Amino acid sequence: MAPVLQLKGITKRFPGVLANDHIDLTLEEGEVLGLLGENGAGKSTLMNILYGLYTPDEGEIYVRGQRADIRDPNDAIALGIGMVHQHFMLIPVLTVAENVMLGMESLRYGVLLDHASAAQRITEISDRYGLQVDPYAVVEDLPVGIQQRVEIIKLLYRNADILILDEPTAVLTPQEVEGLFEVIRSLVAQGKSVIFISHKLREVLEISDRIQVLRGGRVVGSTTPEESTERDLAAMMVGREVILTVPKEPREPDEVVLHVEDLYVRGEHSKMAVDGISFDVRGGEIVGVAGVQGNGQTELVEALTGLRPVEAGRIEIGGHDVTHATPRIITEVGTAHIPEDRRSDGLVLSYPITHNLILNTYYLPPVARGMVMQEDVIRERAERLVAEYDVRTPDVFTPVGNLSGGNQQKVIVARELSRDVLLTIAAQPTRGLDVGSIEYIHAQLVRKRDEGAAVFVVSAELDEVMSLADRIIVMYEGKIMGIVPAAEATKEELGLMMAGVPAAELGDAAASSRVSAEASGGAAEPLHKAH
């Protein structure tokens, strides 16, 4: 039986980079193929080729045994290929039905949009595959998990048989991930074939029938869940032995540095994104915030760093009341901030490294004397920091936009952590980075903590939080569900809290989910994932 999909020798070059290097890939009908790889390994490029957004320089694609020439998404859709992108391709202001039918709209009298028949078809699909959704709801009002259902429905609406899911679990709680897996199993049972792209080794092992690993644009391994462990897969992805834990000595925390009391912060659409939370962070400890993105973590960090107004409550750093302070005051009080979106918030991409390193010190002596900036001081400082923090660059005058993601983040880290600060706030510090950079940044954060600073880390990667933090705060819909010491926390409990179960009620809920915890193996959980 011919495989439903075959890629042979796919090669794609971009200026300066060989993204896909003669890749062969096979997908059998009715199976789930897990595609693993670091950022930059070439998985997204490959899938974009399959979906018609790029054309390959070499290589062929065979769909159900027939040679296929996919020039644009319409061709892919016609062949029954559909893709759910990592960042949703939904139009927020339109309804579910409008989003789903866009591009193949149902029409009445040849001209008018026919919402009713689209809605009917959507409901049929919903019932068949267990993807309940209201066709007339406006997409931006829907929670992320439901939005993902809409994306999948989009594919099924077009009779896709080959479904590509790119990092689908990035935005889901562990329980929602289970729900998604059930949907995938249901799809496969009805004859669909799925390519599951992820960097989360455990999930890939759980859902895939076969696994292929990409590294540097090549396929470096082809295996099955029975034959390999997470450690094997991680090594294949990265090409070397990966240390899966963050080396950390235990340390007694010092004084309270960050004190947050009854904090209320308004988010978009006049909703209260941070809904009355209180916590402390002491010097010499790392506090991590776990929670699916969109539960107020971003707004919390913005409030702490002065980028968003505080509705009510109190924030103190080092004893100073900074509740309504500007970002500059908060920085001067002794705060370092590694922002969530490094390209838009943390760096000026067109500026050279030198000028990015002084982004928050440009007006202080010795960088500036009065109004005049001292170029020699700036250059010297840059050279020192670049060496110290191992930033790979031709010289310090290179525009930061030319650096790789990892090196860009290192510039930010160099800038922030080289200062003598009381509090370090890091939001998604390792998102989208290669393993080497991730290890480096984790080491830097631990160093800061060992030096006595308070470190506050927000991350959507539960494993990162669990391995890095001394204490873990779980946020859900703007409230704190619980604060637990990292050593005692289990993934199941954290998952429940992330889904809205407060710590107090965990007892009963935990009992029922303990069964599934046994099933996934109680061995040492890998604490450090390659991306």
Residues 88-107 that bind another protein (CB under 8 A): 88-94, 98, 102-103, 105, 107
Nearer Cβ to another protein, position 117 or 490? 117
Binding test (CB under 8 A) with another protein, winner from 359, 377, 517, 527: 359
- Please select the residue that binds another protein; options are 348, 377, 510, 527, rule is CB under 8 A: 348
Alpha-carbon distance of 192 to 207, in angstroms, equals 14
**Taking CB under 8 A as the rule, does residue 349 contact another protein?**
yes
Q: Contacts with another protein in 245-284 (CB under 8 A)?
A: 264, 266, 270, 272, 275-276
Handedness of CA 63, 66, 72, 77 (dihedral sign): negative
Contacts of 100 (CB under 8 A, 6+ apart): 118, 122, 135, 150, 153, 154, 157
Reading the block at residue 235, the tokens are 């090594």
Contacts of 498 (CB under 8 A, 6+ apart): 173, 174, 290, 291, 292, 295, 462, 474, 476, 481
Task: For the CB of residue 253, give the shortest distance to another protein in the complex, in Å.
Answer: 28
Closest CA to 375 of 354, 393, 400: 354
Looking up tokens 């960042």, which residue turns up? 87
Query: Nearest approach, Cβ of 25 to another protein (angstroms)?
Result: 17
- Binding footprint of another protein, residue count (CB under 8 A): 79
Minimal distance in Å, beta carbon 172 to another protein?
A: 20
Could you give the CA distance from residue 394 to residue 383 in angstroms, rounded to a whole number?
11
DSSP string, 310-328: EEEEEEEETTEE-TT--HH
Q: Which residues within the stretch 440-499 sit at the binding site for another protein (CB under 8 A)?
A: 478
Q: How far is the CB of 520 from another protein (least distance, A)?
A: 32
Cα distance between residue 77 and residue 103, in whole Å? 11
Residue 313 CB, nearest distance to another protein (Å)?
10
Two structure tokens written together for 420 = 């003598």
Residue type, 338: I
Under rule CB under 8 A, which residues in 19-78 are in contact with another protein? 19, 40, 44-45, 48, 51, 53-54, 72-74, 77
**Among residues 57, 261, 311, 525, the one that binds another protein under rule CB under 8 A:** 311
Any idea what the Cα angle at residue 132 is, between residues 92 and 185, rounded to 5°?
A: 110
d(CA 88, CA 149) in angstroms, rounded, equals: 11
327 near another protein (CB under 8 A): yes
Instruction: List the one residue from 18, 113, 503, 510 that touches another protein (CB under 8 A).
Output: 113
Q: Which stretch binds another protein (CB under 8 A): 130-138, 395-403, 454-462, 482-490?
A: 395-403
The yes or no reply on residue 389 touching another protein (CB under 8 A) is no
Q: Give 358 or 468: the residue with its C-beta nearer to another protein.
A: 358
Q: By C-beta, is 112 or 116 nearer to another protein?
A: 112
**Is the CB of residue 162 less than 8 Å from the CB of residue 117?**
no
* The only residue of 256, 307, 510, 527 in contact with another protein, by rule CB under 8 A: 307
Helices (H), 366-505: 375-388, 405-417, 435-450, 462-468, 491-498
Q: Which residue's entry shows tokens 């990015």?
A: 356
> How far is the C-alpha of 75 from the C-alpha of 65, rounded, in Å?
16
**Cα separation, 111 vs 123, whole angstroms:** 23
User: Cβ closer to another protein: 307 or 527?
Assistant: 307
Figure out which of the listed residues 231, 363, 447, 520 binds another protein, where binding follows CB under 8 A.
Answer: 363
Site for another protein in 118-147 (CB under 8 A): none
Of 186-194, 226-234, 241-249, 342-350: span binding another protein (CB under 8 A): 342-350
Which residue lies nearer to another protein by CB, 328 or 447? Answer: 328
Give the nearest distance from C-beta 151 to another protein in angstroms: 10
Site string for another protein, 412-451 (x = CB under 8 A): ----------------------------------------
Judged by CB under 8 A, the residue of 250, 252, 371, 518 near another protein is 371
Window of 2-10, 206-214, 346-354, 382-390 that interacts with another protein by CB under 8 A: 346-354
Rounded to whole angstroms, the Cα distance separating 234 from 201 reads 8
What per-residue string of b and e applies to 450-485 under the rule 16 or more CB within 10 Å gives b? eebbbbbbbbbbbbbbbbbbbbbbbbbbbbbbbbbe
Please report how close the Cβ of residue 422 comes to another protein at its closest, in angstroms: 17
Neighbours of 55 (CB within 10 A): 12
Residue 44 vs 467, nearer CB to another protein: 44
